[in-house]
Amino acid sequence: MVCNKLSSTQLAIIAAVIMVIGDVIGLMAALAAFNEEQQSKEETRRELKNKIKYLQDKL
């Protein structure tokens, strides 16, 4: 059985690819968190708008 050894360049490329994959996963998580925050703000805005409308109708 032949044992192939990876050169330092090949190992560096593999490490770089793994880091890029990690960065992409981190970016996706950040975008998901941002999207959730925006949805929460929109929901709060809608609730406040409904409360204002209710109070205006009550007057």
* Residues above pLDDT 70, as percent of the chain: 95
Q: Please indicate whether residue 57 or residue 1 has the higher confidence score (pLDDT).
A: 57
Mean pLDDT over residues 31-41, rounded? 96
Tokens of 28: 């996706």
CA distance 32 to 41: 14
CA distance 11 to 5: 10
pLDDT band at 13; cut points 50, 70, 90: very high
Q: Please indicate whether residue 1 or residue 47 has the higher confidence score (pLDDT).
A: 47
CA distance 58 to 18: 60
CA distance 50 to 56: 10
